[in-house]
Amino acid sequence: MSARYDRAITVFSPDGHLFQVEYAQEAVKKGSTAVGIRGKDIVVLGVEKKSVAKLQEERTVRKICVLDEHVCMAFAGEKLYRKSPECSVVSVNAHTFIHHTYLSPGLTADARIVINRARVECQSHRLTVEDPVTVEYITRYIATLKQRYTQSNGRRPFGISALIVGFDYDGTPRLYQTDPSGTYHAWKANAIGRSAKTVREFLEKNYTEEAIAGDNEAIKLAIKALLEVVQSGGKNIELAIIRRNQPLKILEASEIETLVAEIEKEKEEEAEKKKQKKSS
Amino acid sequence: MALLDVCGISDWLKEDGFNAKAASVDKVNHFSFAARTPEFAVPVGVDPAKFLKPLTDNEDGVNGVKLELEHGTTTLAFKFQHGVMVAVDSRASAGSYISSQTCKKVIEINPYLLGTMSGSAADCMYWERVLAKECRIYKLRNKERISVSAASKLLANMMVGYRGMGLSMGSMICGWDKKGPGLYYVDDNAVRLSANMFSTGSGNCYAYGVMDSGYRYDLSVPEAYDLAQRAVFHATHRDAYSGGTVNIYHMQEKGWIKVSHENVEELYHRFAAEKK
């Protein structure tokens, strides 16, 4: 006899909230920060790379994933195991979540499912329509998938928000963000995860036409944004870029170090200038 | 459960139960039309493909009965420097009876897409209207018109599901999209080809003869109109299953226009006069 789920878990509260979706959004807020920037000829994704345990292979932790040659995404969400000193238990129906305040790379398992489905859809689209997906199309697909999981029996929402970047067939750069409720929006620059608000405020102040005038400038803006919230600087940042008509490139640690050094230098020069102005 | 199986109710229950395959929760793909689970409109208890195979494939058929599914018509289309020319006849025949001389064999899917029909009138009209519906839905979902290759792919995928079950359709999907002029031939066997020139139907060999002798990519517009018209006319002259009027469409960058519809009788007299 097949087990049949006859009750939905995500249901409305008396005052109109979908608590499971909101809890999922809380889970997202605890994940590590990711930032996305849409330049003129480049799109940049940066994520906070948490330090791995001593015996863990670093390369198995990847938060920036390729969906197709011209589209990639980064996600934020919270991993759900490993007790830590501060622990709270939330029980919903038959499921028990253990929240912890320690940062860890996202609900990677949820993200894996979404990414797999998105990758298949990208190829399926190429097969039926003979054209690569537009970034909007694959974002819409992921968002629809997430929404279905907020409205069906026996399922909980996906606990991830995603930043999806890429170039359309006609060369337009795009950046989209989805959240666990299944909504999606286009952005010029955005951040998700821990301290997303701080990063977004930084971006709102500093995303100007000149700030994204060139590829290098856009990359530096992403690094600067992440440096606002990442401790211990460049070695905790993972950066990926897509240039028009080129595949995804993940920057080497050395390249990031160089860029961080440039940023530091520019900061010092700015401070010097200000000092001189004051004294004169 | 065993008891339910014996009663034959478990089949129905399977529909009600949470079936991962059938659940619309998992199916986000918008390109599986007709149903979330592939359903085919076929008679219950009969496998159409198995039923039809001996009737069409064997030399002698079954008990002396052999079915030949012909496409009684002439349609043609060719690409040239100024777009795509589409020309069709307008005769519908049921055996040796001419059921209509004024049949519309071109379906206007949208201002930038045309589909021609040859074969079984019912099959063509039905499936091309389903295609038109899918094209409209595509435009609503994606805020841009569907490409010619995608539209022809959708039609070919529809045909694949019913392969061997006796559909009869030979269609050319013509249009102008972001990649320029497009021309695809789609068949009831789910053959899908792209080329500069096609002709379908029982009169296609006559049309090919005329087209091949006059075709150049750099035809001017009046020359192309004339070539398309002559090709279909000569096919109607020799093929019993083609006739009526010759309908010509021209697919341009800003959409298709209907060029002319002339009765083959008048064309005959006009071409005969030219010979003198």
Question: What is the DSSP secondary-structure string of A153-208?
Answer: BT-----EEEEEEEE-TTS-EEEEEE-TTS-EEE-SEEEESTTHHHHHHHHHHH--
Is residue A131 within 8 Å of B153, Cβ to Cβ?
no
| A126 near B CB under 8 A | no
Sign of the torsion angle spanned by Cα atoms B237, B242, B246, B250: negative
A91 DSSP 8-state letter: E
Of the pLDDT bands very low, low, confident and very high (cuts 50, 70, 90), residue A118 is very high
- Lowest mean pLDDT: which of A22-31, B47-56, B109-118? B47-56
- CB neighbourhood size of A52 (10 A): 13
Is residue A200 within 8 Å of A187, Cβ to Cβ?
no
Nearest-CB residue to B18 (from A5, A121, A148): A5
pLDDT at A45: 94
Taking CB atoms and an 8 Å limit, are B157 and A4 in contact across chains?
A: no
For residues B258-275, average pLDDT = 94
Of the pLDDT bands very low, low, confident and very high (cuts 50, 70, 90), residue A101 is very low
Please tell me which residue of chain A has the smallest CA distance to B10: A1
| A131 near B CB under 8 A | yes
Of the pLDDT bands very low, low, confident and very high (cuts 50, 70, 90), residue B2 is low
Residue with tokens 């079915």: B67
Minimal Cα–Cα distance from A151 to chain B, Å? 9
Sheet holding B192-194, edge to edge: B106-110, B113-116, B170-177, B180-187, B192-194
pLDDT digits (tens, 9 = 90+) for B183-208: 999 999 999 999 999 999 999 999 99
pLDDT at B224: 97
CA distance B229 to B267: 9
Minimal Cα–Cα distance from B214 to chain A, Å? 33
pLDDT at A273 over 50: yes
Burial annotation B233-247 (CB, 10 A radius, 16+ → b, else e): bbbbeebebbbbbbb
- Lowest mean pLDDT: which of A167-181, A203-217, B23-37, B170-184? B23-37
**In a 3-state reduction of DSSP, which class is residue A80?**
coil
For residues A206-217, average pLDDT = 90
For residues A194-217, average pLDDT = 92
Catalytic residue numbers of B, as ranges: 73
pLDDT digits (tens, 9 = 90+) for B49-74: 777 788 877 777 778 777 776 778 99
Three-state secondary structure string covering chain B: CHHHHHHCCHHHHHHHCCCCCCCCCCCCCCCCCCCCCCCCCCCCCCCHHHHHHHHHHCCCCECCECCCCCCCCCEEEEEECCEEEEEECCCEEECCEEEECCCCCEEEEECCEEEECCECHHHHHHHHHHHHHHHHHHHHHHCCCCCHHHHHHHHHHHHHHCCCCCCCEEEEEEEEECCEEEEEEEECCCCEEECCEEEECCCHHHHHHHHHHHCCCCCCHHHHHHHHHHHHHHHHHHCCCCCCEEEEEEEECCEEEEEEEEEHHHHHHHHHHHHC
| A117 near B CB under 8 A | yes
| A172 near B CB under 8 A | no
Please tell me which residue of chain A has the smallest CA distance to B1: A1
| B157 near A CB under 8 A | yes
Percent share of chain B, pLDDT over 90: 62
pLDDT at A236: 86
CA distance B125 to B142: 26
Taking CB atoms and an 8 Å limit, are B149 and A148 in contact across chains?
A: no
A59 DSSP 8-state letter: G
Please tell me which residue of chain A has the smallest CA distance to B18: A4
Nearest-CB residue to A130 (from B18, B28, B153): B153
Beta strands B170-177 and A64-68, pairing class: unpaired
Of the pLDDT bands very low, low, confident and very high (cuts 50, 70, 90), residue A134 is very high
pLDDT at A148 over 60: yes
pLDDT at B268: 95
**What are the C-alpha distances in Å from B117 to residues A80, B37, B109, B246?**
58, 28, 12, 14
pLDDT at B47: 76
| A145 near B CB under 8 A | yes
- Lowest mean pLDDT: which of A228-237, B12-21, B61-70, B106-115? B12-21
Is residue A262 within 8 Å of A217, Cβ to Cβ?
no
- By residue count, chain B amounts to 276
Taking CB atoms and an 8 Å limit, are A149 and B31 in contact across chains?
A: no
Give the pair of three-digit tokens for residue B63: 């008990």
Q: CA torsion A110→A111→A113→A115, rounded to 10°?
A: 170
Minimal Cα–Cα distance from B199 to chain A, Å? 24
| Residue A161 Ramachandran class (φ > 0 left, ψ -120 to 50 alpha, else beta) | beta
Look at A200 and B6; give whichever has higher pLDDT.
A200
CA distance B243 to B245: 6
| Best-predicted range by mean pLDDT (A13-22, A244-253, B216-225) | B216-225
pLDDT at A107: 82
CA distance B233 to B206: 9
CA distance A251 to A226: 15
Give the pair of three-digit tokens for residue A45: 């994704």
CA distance A4 to B208: 61
pLDDT digits (tens, 9 = 90+) for B151-165: 999 999 989 888 888
Give the pair of three-digit tokens for residue A39: 């330049």
Mean per-residue pLDDT of chain A: 84
Taking CB atoms and an 8 Å limit, are A134 and B17 in contact across chains?
A: no
A61 DSSP 8-state letter: -
pLDDT digits (tens, 9 = 90+) for B128-140: 999 999 999 999 9
Of the pLDDT bands very low, low, confident and very high (cuts 50, 70, 90), residue B91 is very high
Minimal Cα–Cα distance from A128 to chain B, Å? 6
Q: What is the ipTM of this complex?
A: 0.74
pLDDT at B28 over 80: no
Q: Among A218, A161, A168, which residue's Cα sits nearest to residue A189?
A: A218
Give the pair of three-digit tokens for residue A14: 């008396």
